[in-house]
Chains A and B, each alone.
Chain A
Amino acid sequence: MGKTLFDKIWDAHTVSAVDGGQQVVYIDRHFIHEVTSPQAFDGLSARNLPVFRPDQTIATADHNVPTINQHLPIAEPLSRHQVQKLVENCAQFGVELYGLGHPYQGIVHVIGPELGITQPGMTIVCGDSHTSTHGAFGCIAFGIGTSQVEQVLATQCLLQSRPKRMRITVDGELQPGVLSKDIILYIISRLSAAGGTGYFVEYAGSAIRSLSMEARMTICNMSIEMGARGGLIAPDEETFNYVRGREFAPQGEAFEQAVAQWRELYTDEDAVFDKEYHFRAEDIQPMITYGTNPGMGMGIVEAIPAAESVDNPATYRKSLDYMGFAPGQLLLGQPVQYVFIGSCTNSRIEDLRLVAQYVAGKEKAPGVEVIVVPGSRQVAAQAKAEGLDLILAGAGMALREPGCSACLGMNEDKVPAGAYCVSTSNRNFEGRQGPGARTLLASPLTAAAAAIHGRIVDVREELASAGLALV
């Protein structure tokens, strides 16, 4: 019987097996950041251990950094201390740090791919659940806890039970105005926030294959939002072309040799998955979430489901109460007060280009606060080189400096209690963007449209009437 892509990579990284099913898995690349690493470094110090493979460890500061005036000391004392602790730990343990002010600084899942550190066939971990992003390159990439960060720092290995395999195939052509963010929100709405738990997902099909690398990253990024350990996509020419020439990618002859090996990274025809789902791209509308987990999403023209149609009405009511919505309600036309464009899900140059193209010559609606945060300094530099910063500023949405920002509100970028925020991030949990904040997850295009109109709109109508072909 053939092997899945997942199994090929997993087996190539298995050092040994432990009685009872756990396996020792070798980790090729380990990303660390300020929030989930300090206790792990303390653990090393307590045992008097070095970092085992510092060359395979890359650090950046992203979670709690400010997005305005990054050249100044961080005002908030706890954040400043945590970032300073990362600087000290990296210096002490010999780990490369792309810290504040460094031209490579940015959200950990944006900089790994853009620097060519992320390459097909690798195992990649980080103390952050959205590490699944790197799966877009045909990697086994997943988030870990701080105890595991310490284990990888100490041994470059992890104890893991082998997850089950799921394949999600999306065939067909997307409607204009429907983005990869809509694909993944659609999938999660069908499978639920727990539907992928225990599985590692492979995304396949013509609709996935037609996506750019950045769009694929958006899909894999949100694998965790259906509970999956991670998600991956078999590498192809699109992948190789993206990696080619990047700073830490193999160069010249070594790159051609690597590509020859990467071409072996696919699921065999006769491989068997534990679970398979098939969706049609044509069925997918621009999506919007109405509840407090990413599985509570719907097509933008649909109504919020009736309470009788869900498994646990008590949890459902609690969620809608928090959001200030009622079953049966339409969200089209819903006024919003905040728009956040950013996060490891949607903060790359293609996202900013699309937003700039849409808002060019327009102005944000009065009373809407728009926060646009690039994923990295390199993304910001590219945006400026293309003049996107000026277009955005002209629409009343100045481009900030890179970081995780209002995705999780660890810095000053928060949404106030009760306010509605259309967000390109990945989680609409209660209080995620600030205590009492009400998050509506959507694509960058739907978010940009909400910024301009001050309410939720179906961008497809506007694109059709204006004859615009944005995507």
Chain B
Amino acid sequence: MQPFTHIASPAVPLPIEDVDTDQIIPARFLKATTRDGFGDNLFRDWRYDQEGRAKADFVLNTGVYNGQILVAGRNFGCGSSREHAAWAIYDYGFKAVVSSFFADIFKGNALNNGLLPVQVSPEYLHSLFAAIEADPGARISIDLAEQQIRIEATGEAYRFDIDPYKKMCLLNGYDDIDYLLSLRPQIEAFEQARTAAFI
């Protein structure tokens, strides 16, 4: 996993609620056996019509917005557990997703792939959308060590929460699996010590 420390970038607004993982990457594009290339089909059916032509009015196609930060409505990433959703967003070029609420599995998948989910208050999310609407080039900075997101033009900032262990992993680019593998002796001891209880 690539480390995440801080970014400063314009943002892409997607002020829709309950964006589910079938919208992020439809099931018919889950047939790859590697992690690469999913960005091409990010938001496929919102981005392209059935003949594969770009839909001019979708936010990724208007040419107005770009950057490494996706700002979305509440309950982002609900639905299926497909990690391909996090891979697609990251592969497209986003490094962080900001919302007032994330679905659990998506949030976990994002954290495991160096994609930072930044949960902010509904009020701050509103401010972000307003700032981006006023100036599509408005720069947003995110500092993970400080757990702070900031609208550079106005200085309006928000301190976000993140699990301390996952923060450490992201800052250093560590994967959970490295940690779990280091626990193998403990895991084996746990298996040995178990009575028959509940198995």
Contact = CB atoms under 8 A, between A and B. Distances in A.
Interface of A: 9, 12-13, 15-16, 18-22, 24, 26, 28, 35-36, 38-39, 42-43, 47, 49, 52, 63-64, 78-79, 81-82, 85, 119-122, 127-129, 143-148, 150-151, 154-159, 161, 163, 193-194, 197-198, 224, 227, 229, 257-258, 261-262, 265, 292-293, 295, 311-312, 314-315, 318, 408-410, 417, 427, 429-432, 435-436
B17 interface: yes
Contact of B22 (A24, A39, A431): A431
Contacts of B66: none
Interface stretch (B2-10, B135-143, B190-198): B190-198
B56 interface: no
A76 B23 CA distance: 23
Nearest to A144: B81
7 contacts: A47-B177, A82-B31, A155-B181, A261-B198, A312-B73, A427-B20, A430-B45
B81 A143 contact: yes
Per CB-CB distance, the 3 closest pairs between chain A and chain B, nearest first, are: A121-B198, A20-B164, A145-B83
Contact of A436 (B50, B105, B198): B50
A15 B186 CA distance: 7
Given A227-B78, A261-B197, A15 B190 contact: yes
A35 B31 contact: yes
Interface of B: 15-18, 20, 22-23, 26-28, 30-35, 45, 50, 73-75, 78-84, 86, 101, 103-105, 108-109, 112-113, 163-166, 175-177, 179-181, 183-184, 186-187, 190-191, 196-199
Contacts of A262: 198
Contact of B165 (A19, A78, A154, A197): A19
A155 B79 contact: no
Contacts of B196: 257-258, 261
Contacts of B101: 194, 197
B79 A12 contact: no
B89 to A, nearest CB: 13
Contact of B183 (A79, A82, A85, A157): A157
A294 to B, nearest CB: 9
* Interface SS of chain B: loop
A428 B162 CA distance: 31
Contacts of A9: 198
A434 B26 CA distance: 9
A26 B190 contact: yes
A163 B165 CA distance: 16
Contact of A147 (B26, B28, B45, B175): B175
Contact of A155 (B33, B34, B84, B180): B180
A288 B105 CA distance: 26
Given A127-B81, A143-B105, A312-B17, A43 B177 contact: yes
Given A15-B190, A197-B103, A227-B104, A22 B165 contact: yes
B114 to A, nearest CB: 11
B27 A145 contact: no
Contacts of A315: 16-18, 73
A312 B74 CA distance: 10
